[in-house]
Structures are given as structure tokens and as C-alpha cells.
A and B are shown apart, each in its own frame.
Chain A
Amino acid sequence: GAVVSQHPSRVICKSGTSVKIECRSLDFQATTMFWYRQFPKQSLMLMATSNEGSKATYEQGVEKDKFLINHASLTLSTLTVTSAHPEDSSFYICSARDPQTARETQYFGPGTRLLVL
């Protein structure tokens, strides 16, 4: 199936710093990518929908000024956690739909583990 990559796989940062996470679709073009957050022992929670060439759509309760999303090309979306705090420590996962597959299955990246000290 289609491949979605994320970079970095894990990051440790100090409180107050900003962290950028990249999500790439490696063998298909994705006009839409999604960002999820997952806390330990919990399910994935959708944070925002990233649209190529336009502003992202954020879910209720997700601060758009704190979680900056840029979808500059058809294969890359970035999530920047600004002024990170320990409560932002989580597993961040992106996904993308491959519009060329028969039913446009959503493919997920391997995730990025963020630890804010």
C-alpha cells in the first residue's frame, strides 16, 4: 500500500520551545492530510485537517495558534507545536488519503513521539 512517512520519529524538547513535525506521502499526492494525537492507552483524536494550498481546519478544542499546520505541497504537511509544554507530550500521527486507490483508503504515518520536559 501507499507509504506515509513522518520525521522525526521522536523528539525531546524543553518547555517553551517549538517543534516541527513533517508528514510526507512518498508515492502518491495527497490534497488532504490529517493530524491526530494519541495519549497513552487512548484512541487517536483528530486534531486538524490539512488542505494543500489553503488553511487547515481544526477540530473543536484544538488551538490553531498553538498547532500550526502548513500543507505547502501535495506530498508534505507540517505540524508545528509552538511554545510546547509538558502537557503537549503525546504521540502525533498523520495520515493521508490516496485518491488513486479504489476506495481512497487512508494511510497513516509511523507517528512522532514528543516529550516536552
Chain B
Amino acid sequence: LAKTTQPISMDSYEGQEVNITCSHNNIATNDYITWYQQFPSQGPRFIIQGYKTKVTNEVASLFIPADRKSSTLSLPRVSLSDTAVYYCLVGPTNAGNMLTFGGGTRLMVKP
């Protein structure tokens, strides 16, 4: 399983765009990149998943360069409620494969 590296923490202000970058230098050909959000005392919540280039949904965008050795989660116009820990995970998606969590990035959104 590819190991991931993320910043331990980030601070932002309401209304700003937040970009969290994750490094995964040894990503495998059949690996996807998935981001989860976790609030205190709750289970992680799926945000977005991608394989290459750019993926966008109603919550976030995920940018993946051609070499796929990194990815960037982009949260547009964050609010206080976006304060959470964000995890980047890399792995194949076939059934039965577990996810290995790294340290995550603790995002603090300030008013």
C-alpha cells in the first residue's frame, strides 16, 4: 500500500479556498486516491475519489498531476463547519482491500 504524507495541520479563514496536498510517491498503477473528512467523535466521511487529472463534486475538487505522485484536495470557500481532519488514502478499490490511514491534516477554519 502506498504511503502518504500530508501536512499535520493548516489554518484558514472563512470564505477562503483551502488546498491540502498529499504526497504518495510510490503509488501503484491500480491505486486510486481517496479523501475522507473526520469530525471529532465521528467516523470518517467520504469526500472525493480520483485516479488522474481532475475530479469535482459538490463538496470539493481533487487535482492529480500526470505522474500521480501527489494530489491536492481543494475546498472552495470554507466555513467554520469545515474544521476537521482530512485524510488522504491511496490504494486499489477492489473489494476486500482495506484502507491504511496516515496522520491526516487537521484543518482549523477561523472566523
Residues of A within 8 A of B (CB): 1, 4, 6, 31-32, 34, 36, 43-46, 49, 51, 91, 93, 95, 97, 99, 103-111, 113
B104: chain A residues at CB < 8 Å are 43
Residue of B nearest to A97 (CB): B95
Report if B70 contacts A (CB, 8 A): no
Given A43-B104, A105-B34, A105-B49, verify A99-B95 contact (CB < 8 Å). Answer: yes
Report if B43 contacts A (CB, 8 A): yes
On whether the beta carbons of A49 and B49 are closer than 8 Å, the reply is no
Size of interface on B: residues with Cβ below 8 Å to A: 22
The B contact surface, by secondary structure, is: loop
On whether the beta carbons of A44 and B101 are closer than 8 Å, the reply is yes
Q: Which of B32, B36, B41, B46 contacts A91 (CB 8 A)?
A: B41
The A contact surface, by secondary structure, is: strand
On whether the beta carbons of A108 and B96 are closer than 8 Å, the reply is no
Report if B87 contacts A (CB, 8 A): yes
Given A32-B95, A103-B49, A104-B93, verify A110-B101 contact (CB < 8 Å). Answer: no
A103: chain B residues at CB < 8 Å are 32, 49, 93
Q: How far is the CA of A44 from the CA of B71 in the complex (A)?
A: 21
Q: How far is the CA of A51 from the CA of B44 in the complex (A)?
A: 21
On whether the beta carbons of B101 and A107 are closer than 8 Å, the reply is no
Q: How far is the CA of A44 from the CA of B38 in the complex (A)?
A: 10
Q: How far is the CA of A46 from the CA of B41 in the complex (A)?
A: 17
